[in-house]
Each structure stands twice: as C-alpha cells, then as structure tokens.
Structure 1
Amino acid sequence: MTTFKVNGSPFVLLSIWVLLLLPHTSLSQNTTFLPNAYAHNDYWHKRPLFDALDNGFTYVEADVYLRKGQLVVAHMLPVLQPSRTLDKLYLNPLSDHFKNDSMGMNYPRITLMIDIKSDPEKTYQALADLLHRYESLLSYYENGTLYKRAVTIVITGHKPVRTIKSLDCRYVFIDEDLIQMAKEKNPANLFPIASCRYGRILSRNSEETLSKEEKQNLCRYVQIAHQNGKIVRLWASPENTKVWKELLSCGVDLINTNKLVELKTFLLNRYPDFAKTN
C-alpha cells in the first residue's frame, strides 16, 4: 500500500479517502440564498442544518422534546441520543458560523423554528436557560424595540404564548395560527409568522391547481397577514412544483418542504428574482 510522510510520520493514502468521505460538518460559504425556502423537519436530512444551508435555505425547523433535562431533537418521543440535542445539532454550529458576524451582515440571517413537542412551559423554560449562552447571536425584543441579529428563534407546536407574551425582554418569537390571525390583532414583533395546515384552507384534492374560490380564500388570508407585517407558511402541503407555483402566486412567503434540492432548483429556474446573493 502506498504511503507518504508528513513531518516524518507515515500516513496511508487510504486515510485520505476516509477523511474525504466523512460527513461535512461546517457551513458552506454559499453566496445564493432563498428567503422563501423553509426546511420542514430538517433533522431528517443526512446532515441536519448543513444540507439546508448549503442549498440556500434561510428557515429551518427542528422538533424538540424535553427529555432528562435536555432538549432532544426528534419527531417522536425519543430515546435520548446525546448527539441529537438542539445545541449540538443547531445552536453550536450556528454560533460557529456567525462567530464574527452576530448581526448577520456578512451571511444570510437564519430563522430557526423550534417545534415544541413536550410540555410547553417546562420545555420553554429549558430552552430559555439554554439560549442564555447564545444571546449575542439572537434577535430579541426589549421594552418595545425589536433588535435583529443573525439568528431568529420562532416557537411553534406547543406554544407557551402567555409566558412569552408577558416578558419585557425575550429572545424568542411565536408562530401564529393563520386562521386565528385573521380574527385577532397580535403584533408582528411577537408573531412574525402566521402558519396553518394546508388542508385547513385548501382541499387536499388541490394537488396541482387551485380553484378560483380557493385562490381567493388563500389570497385573503395572505393579504391580512401582510397588512399586519407577518409572513405566511402552509405546512403539510403537497410536494410538487405546481402547488409551489400556486402558493407563490397567492403571495405565500415560505414554501414548506422536505425536498431541499428540488425546491432550490425550482426557485432558481422559475423565480430567480426570489434568490438573493450576499
């Protein structure tokens, strides 16, 4: 087997190939980013966070359980895996990426959607304790003023709305129910995103095109959200380009997907004006 020496130490060429095959564990310096791209259940991908950001996504979602004092990332009630915690999969890598850019001036700002799956109050308290370590990185709201930084945390799922709403200074925001949003007047500095299941507004039979009535209904909700300074997301939507086109034509801001490459290709080919460069 061929070998070479570095500083007198022998290395086998095979080890080079092993290193090349190791999973990528640093964020790419991607110059194209997609403000409309939302990585649903991001942790299912081979490289959580990294695959999404390498494809230009600016919104990533992680489901979280409070388990044995740790925030574990999983879709179902997990068996504790030390490597699958929120800080190890998301917060630490983001902190490293924005180490010298906490304001998000050199790289695209990221929104991390945290879907709380366990008790909302207990899980949020554990999250708040964890986020203290990353405060210099995070957008926050204090005494009536919103301060934008590199990473914005938005809570969805089981949301402790009253607790978060009562805070004078907070480092998290809330994903509002799109249907309720049309009835209430909650501020965008607390609820920057309004979401709901695709099937609550549109028929599940609408897997390619929307009827005139469906479009009018969706556009009405989108218009109300935009008038209130909020962006819109429909989750559990059909994963195909025809539906994506229909949603964008109605003004839906975030396309929710598990198909990272397909959505990136669709947006760059069909909607290049939606892509931005840093």
Structure 2
Amino acid sequence: MEKNIRFIIFSLVLLANQAFAQLLHSHNDYEQKEPFYAAYNLGFDSIEADLYIKNDKLYVAHDWKDINRKRTFKSLYWKPLLAKIKANKGYAYANKKELYLLLDLKKDGKQILAVLDKLFRHHRKDLKHVHITISGDMPKPEEFEQYDKLMFFDGRRNTEYSDKAYERVDMVSASFLDFGKYWPGKQQLPEETYQNIRAFVMANHAKGKRVRIWGTPNTTLAFETLKKLEVDFIGTDDLELLKNFVDK
C-alpha cells in the first residue's frame, strides 16, 4: 500500500513537472540598449520591468534617482507591445506564442496598481495572450481579488495564501541566496544548494505553479544548471548568451 502511495505521488509530481516549458526571461529588461525590442526580437518568453510612479505617470527605473521623463512605461513597453499585438492580429508574437510581462513595483504599489488596473481594463481584448504578473510591492493576498483578473501575482515561498488568493498566483519566486551562498556560476553548484532548489521546484510544480529564481549568474553553466533543475523562468541580463545557449 505504501509503495502504491509513493508511486502515485511520484507520478503526480512528474506530470506536474512535464506540464511546463522552460521560459527565457529578460531580467531588468529596461537596462538593455533597446528595452522590449532586444528581448522581443530574440523571441524571449518573458520580459521584466521595474516601475515607479511620479506625478501620476509610470516610469521604468531600478532606483528612484534613475527616473527619466523619457523612460516611461507607456513609451518603452506599453506602446510597443500594443503595436506588436495589432500587427500579429491579437498575439504578441506572429507564431502565436504568449508573452509574459513581469512588472516589479518598487514602491507605492497600490498607486501603481490603480493606474495599471485602469489601463488594462480598457485593453482586455488586446491582452488575451499576454500574461501579466505583478511583483515587488504587492497588495496582501486577501486583496488580490480587488484587481482586474488580467493581473496575476508573484508568489513567495513563505507566504500563506487562501485557495482563492492562490488562484491569482502565477508563479512563485525566490532569491538564489535563499538556498545557499553566492555562486558565480563558474563551477558546479554545491550539492546542498542544488538539492534545496530542487525541493523548491518540485514542491511548487506539484501545486501547479511555475518557479523563478532571481540573482542567478549570467554563465552557460548557470543556464545548464537551472535547466537541469527545471526552473521555469531562466533569467539573464545577457540576452545573446542565453539565446545562443538555448539554440545550441
């Protein structure tokens, strides 16, 4: 009986793992020479932008001091995305592949969400094939339902969610340092760290959730390791390096 239970659990975890394709994620995409377009033209599945709000406008920047009136969310991401959707007859990509847009709210999250909520409600049809995930300064899980259902939220490994709130969690993210010491990605990942990450991945896959780990190195060995660990979002700041790794 015990063996049968173990086999059933193993089969469920295996099926959950097989349900997800690994995705190329452009970390801090706005720091690329061509925000949005650099990752998009390479066919990246996921693009990340950090958001601030100032005078009711959304700006893309890593820190408040970096806010530039020319670098708005509307000009760098929103307009290019809508243009691509229009050109591709309702899809972000011509091959109908869906695009993930991860928006990291650096501060004043509720104010930013109010602007985004209004913006997205007017473009529900355009965004049918775009996954929008909110990260950073997020509302409490019990407040998720207050926002348009187009928006999902970035889960945290130590946060408790009700069943209803958990439905709005699109992925579960964690820092690499949650699993072990800093790793430059030039030698094999320590076994203990590897197993810690593996347990995190399997536990969330069994619940039907994708996983993302931030703070990973930009090296081919790191990409190979994340692929082997079945981390769903393989993030990088070096777009060409990751794309070449995948193509090979």
Which band: TM-score by shorter chain? 0.7 to 0.9
Select the structure with the greater relative contact order (CA < 8 A; seq sep ≥ 6).
2
What is the aligned partner in structure 1 of residue 82 from structure 2? 95
1:116-135: CA deviation from partner (whole Å, max 9, x where unpaired): 01211112112212223322
With normalisation by structure 1, the TM-score equals: 0.74
The alpha-carbon deviation at position 137 of structure 1 amounts to 2.0
- Counterparts of 2:65 and 2:196, CA distance in 1: 39
Count of residue pairs brought into register by the alignment: 224
Partner of 1:219: 198
Structure 1 runs (4+) greater than 6 angstroms displaced = none
Separation in 1 of the partners of 2:173 and 2:35?
A: 23
| Superposition map of 1:22-171 within 5 A | 35-78=22-65, 81-99=68-86, 101-102=89-90, 106-138=95-127, 149-162=128-141, 164-167=143-146, 169-171=148-150
| Amino acid in structure 1 at the alignment position of 2:64 | L
Alignment check: 8 A CA contact 1:66 1:126 kept = no
Corresponding residue SS for 1:159: coil
Q: Which has the larger radius of gyration?
A: 1
1:192 alignment partner, SS class: strand
1:199 aligns with 2:186: no
> Do the aligned partners of residues 69 and 229 (structure 1) sit closer, same or farther apart at CA in structure 2, a change above 3 Å counting?
same
* Structure with more strand by fraction: 1
Task: List gaps (5 residues or longer) in structure 1.
Answer: 1-33, 139-148, 270-278
Q: Which amino acid letter does the alignment assign opposite residue 191 of structure 1?
A: V
Structure 1 SS opposite 2:62: coil
1:215 and 1:92 map into 2 onto residues whose CA distance is 40
Q: Is 1:198–1:234's contact at 8 Å kept on the other side of the alignment? A: yes
Question: What is the CA–CA distance in structure 2 between the aligned matches of 1:175 and 1:77, rounded to whole Å?
Answer: 22
Query: Structure 1 residues 164 and 62 mapped into 2: Cα distance closer, same or farther (>3 Å)?
Result: farther
Return the offset for 1:255. Answer: 1.1
TM-superposed deviation, 1:162: 3.9
CA contact (8 A) 2:60 2:67 kept: no
Q: Post-superposition shift, 1:203?
A: 2.0
Q: Does the CA-based 8 Å contact 2:121-2:148 persist in structure 1?
A: no
1:245 Cα shift? 1.1
Letter in 2 for 1:45: Q
Structure 2: which 5+ runs fail to align? Answer: 1-20
Q: For the Cα contact (< 8 Å) 1:72–1:78, is it kept in 2?
A: no
* AA at the equivalent of 2:149: R
Equivalent-residue separation in structure 2 for 1:190 and 1:267 (angstroms): 30
Aligned partner of 1:195: which letter? S
Please, which of 214, 226, 229 is the counterpart of residue 235 of structure 1? 214
> Structure 2 vs 1, CA of residues 175 and 255 (structure 1 numbering), >3 Å: closer, same or farther?
same
Question: Does the CA contact (< 8 Å) of 2:22 and 2:230 recur in 1?
Answer: no
1:260–1:161 Cα change, 3 Å: same
Distance 1:163 1:81, change over 3 A: farther
Which has the higher mean CA deviation after the structures are superposed, 40-49 or 166-175?
Answer: 166-175
Report the TM-score, using the length of structure 2 for normalisation. Answer: 0.82
Deviates more, 1:230-239 or 1:74-83: 74-83
- The answer to whether the Cα contact below 8 Å between 1:61 and 1:115 also exists between their aligned partners in 2 is yes
- CA distance in structure 1 between the partners assigned to 2:183 and 2:236 by the alignment: 18
Q: Kindly provide the amino acid, as one letter, of the partner of residue 260 in structure 1.
A: L
d(CA) in 1 for partners of 2:148, 2:66: 34
- Identical amino acids, percent of aligned pairs: 28
Distance 1:63 1:267 in 2: 26
Q: Which residue of 2 aligns with 1:189?
A: 167
**Root-mean-square deviation (CA), in Å?**
2.3
